[in-house]
Amino acid sequence: MTLSNQSKISTFLNELELSSGHQCTYPDAVSLLLERAWIENKTNIFDDLIFHAKFIVKTREVMNRIGQKVEGYEQLASEIQTNLEYAKKLIRILIELTEQKEEFEKQFFLIDAESFSRFLKLLSDLRLIKNWQIDGKPLPYQTTSGILSVTEINECLQSKEGQRNHRLTQSLFLIQKSALLAAILLVLFLLIDPPVTILGWILSLGITVLLAYIMIRILFLTRNRNSH
């Protein structure tokens, strides 16, 4: 991770706290998860993690509000436990090759009340990031300020080039069909009702030559495009 990227993550977390009106309880842990997702190109895993973090935190809020005696509480408890285990799995994937792996395990994943409480607070921090994303704001590893990376620019150009080639192919096909239809009509005209004057034959010959030229140009353009 370059200093530039670390600075972007730090700036992002500051903006996140200002925007949400909440301070991250574990900014270093959140920063590490963002960093690993960015470095190892596992941003899809981080996106999945913050989605489940929001689900877990919101579901616990609902459970605390309705109480244990309400019907459906047990089902919510079962679902939240499944999602908690899945969130742990995603975090372990992100920190697998880090020096902080053991520290994470001790701080957030031990089977005791304090560790569980810290884990929930970490998920609350991650929920803030999901809310940020829902608001349409970019994460540090995404395009910011409307500036595209070189890769994104190339992909955009390739996409536009593909669309242009597709439109060109369709246009050439339509012109080719039109020219072929015109040639058939001209032949039928010459066979059914041929010209009776020299001027008529000259015009017919000129049209024939013009159609032949158009067909040759179409074939040339098609082969030239395919060669690229």
**3-state SS track over 66-105:** HCCCCCCHHHHHHHHHHHHHHHHHHHHHHHCCCCCHHHHH
Side-chain-facing half-sphere of 175: CA atoms under 13 Å? 17
Q: Can you give the pLDDT at residue 191?
A: 67
Q: How confident is the model at residue 15 (pLDDT cuts 50, 70, 90)?
A: very high
Please state, for a pLDDT cut of 90, what percent of the chain lies above it: 45
Distance CA 162, CA 173 (A): 16
Task: State yes or no: pLDDT of 198 exceeds 60.
Answer: yes
Considering only 42-56, 72-86, 199-213, which range has the smallest mean pLDDT?
199-213
Q: Is the pLDDT of residue 159 over 60?
A: no
Residues 183/215, Cβ–Cβ less than 8 Å: yes
Q: Are 17 and 131 in contact (CB under 8 A)?
A: no
Is residue 152 over pLDDT 60? no
Q: Of 11 and 226, which is predicted with more confidence? A: 11
Instruction: Give the model's confidence band at 171: pLDDT under 50 very low, under 70 low, under 90 confident, else very high.
Output: low
Give CA–CA dist 81/76, Å, rounded.
9
The CA-atom distances, in angstroms, between 225 and each of 138, 163, 216 are: 39, 14, 14
Question: What's this model's pTM, rounded to 2 decimal places?
Answer: 0.61
Q: Percent of the chain, pLDDT > 70?
A: 71
Q: What is the mean pLDDT of the segment spanning 16-20?
A: 93
pLDDT higher for 227 or 119? 119
SS3 content of the chain, % helix, strand, coil (to 5): 80, 0, 20
pLDDT of residue 84: 95
Residues 6+ away with beta carbon under 8 Å from 44: none
Of 66, 65, 8, 57, the closest CA to residue 37 belongs to 8
**Higher-pLDDT residue of 150, 44:** 44
The residue among 3 and 73 whose pLDDT is bigger is: 73
**Least confident stretch, 3-7, 27-31, 39-43, 167-171:** 167-171
Domain layout of the chain by residue ranges: 3-144, 151-227
User: What's the residue count for the chain?
Assistant: 228
> What average pLDDT score do residues 124-139 get?
93
